[in-house]
Amino acid sequence: MAGLSLGCQAQEIAAPPAPVPLLPTHRLMPAPPLLTTGRSLLWVALDDHLGQETEDNKPAPALQLKSAGQPLLLRDAGGEVHRSLSITLSWKQVSLDTPQQFARYVAGPFASFESAERVAMDWRQAGVDAVVAHPNDWQVWAPLSIRPPEEVPFQVRRETVARFVQPVLQLPEGAITLAAPLEIEAPDGLDWQGGVYRGPFRLQPDAYGSWTLVEQVPLESYLLGVVPHEIGAGAPVAALMAQTVLARTWALANRHRFAVDGYHLCSDTQCQVYRDPRQASDGVRQAITTTAGKVLSWQGQPISAVYHASNGGVMAAGSEAWSMDSVPYLRAQLDGPAAWGEQFAWPLVAPSSLATLLQLGDEAYGSAHVRFRWQRTLTAAQIQQALQSLAPGLALPQQLTVSERGASGRVLALEIRSSETQPPVVLRLDSIRRHLRQLPSTLFVIKPESEGIWRFTGGGFGHGAGLSQAGAIDLAFRGWSTEQILSHYYPGTMYGPLPQIENAH
């Protein structure tokens, strides 16, 4: 068939577009060492976000390191070695050869790690690779590959980093820029903020472009700096031992808290307060030795060993303190003799029931605590100022309403109305005390005192879940043993060694 061609003409077939590379969410830090039953070396931050404020010709405050005896030995990743009784490190910005780009979903800020971790867990269950970060407040970060669930508001953040902060060793003969990480040995200890810490130490970068001073301390030595500063070195033996078990349990259960920054725990109230270990009394040392290696566990893992100063006569469920799943060992219940508790209508969800408890709580365990009962007065102007970061355009509040209470009587949701045209601000759970910092707890009733002034009448100091330190001291004086105290505040848990800690987190 003349004129008919069955051949195919050559055609250029376009190649599929190259996939767009997924940008990292943040600077990746090496993980701290794993904690196991036989190896329990904690990396604890003594100070964080160092160098963060550094700008051109305006460095952040210098880091001063002072020996408590023999000279310090500093060694950086490049092999630079320096010995001195005191070391001064300043900061400078160094340009990157190739700028780094980051992109992430961000949820937060959250009032606590616990609330942030709950969101992160929900995102992970939805297939989102989420991490908890603490650039200034607690946040949840995730890559842009999978959109998180819509239950929690989030934003998309993109940034290009062209420079980073480096430590600079200041010497009489000049300045030397050091390479991360820095290792610091202190043969006689580091004189730090009025205390002496044994070390060794690391100065290492974090996920935000700043630096962290970390002490590497064995778990049992770490307890020397925690127990006396949490419950007091003079507490009775059974209470000291209970606090020791909880501090050890808490550290193991929370060792992933700062994983994004390459260390385990901080040393302030975002973790457990860790201060000069030399202040540990003989009683504290004996409590650590007697309970060595023992923790509270649930289903083979260390429990969420939360504790606080005073519960005001009633324990809170964990879900009344933070956005978390209920666990059977953190439950709401009255904290006093059975006969005393019979006079109250349980649960304490009605304001009148809670008001009765606040009037008749003297027989509760731990009632001698200075904030077992308290009153605070807040004005509309004070509340407006406290909510400035959360609701910048908020008018003067006109009405405060408790819209939800838990079984323990604690406020779960506080509604603040300012005007007919503005939606109310609702504070929930731990965000109540995060913003209204004058309130010692969420166990309170509110009464208008006059126009624009409210009186809060409440009890307790802290979140109220788990052990009440005041209650534990009271029970120890009443003759209760350590195991009885722990079983009372964490019913159903197991007291003893934890054999397979390497399988947790």
pLDDT exceeds cutoff 90 at 68? yes
Question: Structural domain boundaries of the chain?
Answer: 46-216, 307-465
**CA–CA separation, 6 and 356 (whole Å):** 97
pLDDT of residue 500: 65
pLDDT of residue 56: 77
Task: Give per-residue pLDDT as tens, 7-46.
Answer: 334 444 454 544 446 899 999 999 999 887 567 899 999 9
* Pairing status of strand 467-468 against strand 307-308: parallel
pLDDT of residue 21: 62
pLDDT of residue 7: 36
The answer to whether 341 and 353 have CB atoms below 8 angstroms apart is no
Minimum mean pLDDT range among 55-64, 153-162, 465-474:
55-64
Q: What angle, 0 to 180 degrees and rounded to 10, lies between the N-to-C axes of helices 237-253 and 469-477?
A: 150
Tokens 């300012």, residue?
A: 418
pLDDT exceeds cutoff 60 at 6? no
pLDDT of residue 5: 33
Tokens 């992160």, residue?
A: 120
pLDDT of residue 324: 85
pLDDT exceeds cutoff 90 at 54? no
The answer to whether 313 and 360 have CB atoms below 8 angstroms apart is no
pLDDT of residue 499: 60
Q: Which residue has the higher pLDDT, 416 or 10?
A: 416
Confidence of residue 358 (pLDDT cuts 50, 70, 90): very high
pLDDT of residue 438: 97
**3-state DSSP assignment of residue 333:** strand
Q: How far is CA 329 from CA 299, 303, 484, 493, in A?
A: 11, 9, 14, 7
pLDDT exceeds cutoff 70 at 100? yes
- List 214's β-bridge partners, or say none: 45, 202
Task: Give per-residue pLDDT as tens, 236-271.
Answer: 999 999 999 999 999 999 999 999 999 999 999 999
**CA–CA separation, 226 and 327 (whole Å):** 26
Give the percent of the chain with pLDDT over 70: 94
The answer to whether 364 and 437 have CB atoms below 8 angstroms apart is no
Task: Give per-residue pLDDT as tens, 192-236.
Answer: 999 999 999 999 999 999 999 999 999 999 999 999 999 998 999
Task: Give per-residue pLDDT as tens, 316-341.
Answer: 999 999 988 889 999 999 999 999 99
pLDDT averaged over the chain? 92
Q: How far is CA 112 from CA 341, 395, 431, 432, 479, in A?
A: 32, 27, 8, 11, 35
Report which secondary-structure segment, H or E, holds 57: none
DSSP per-residue letters across 462-477: S--BSEEHHHHHHHHH
pLDDT of residue 9: 40
Task: Give per-residue pLDDT as tens, 117-164.
Answer: 999 999 999 999 999 999 999 999 999 999 999 999 999 999 999 999
**3-state DSSP assignment of residue 81:** strand
pLDDT of residue 58: 84
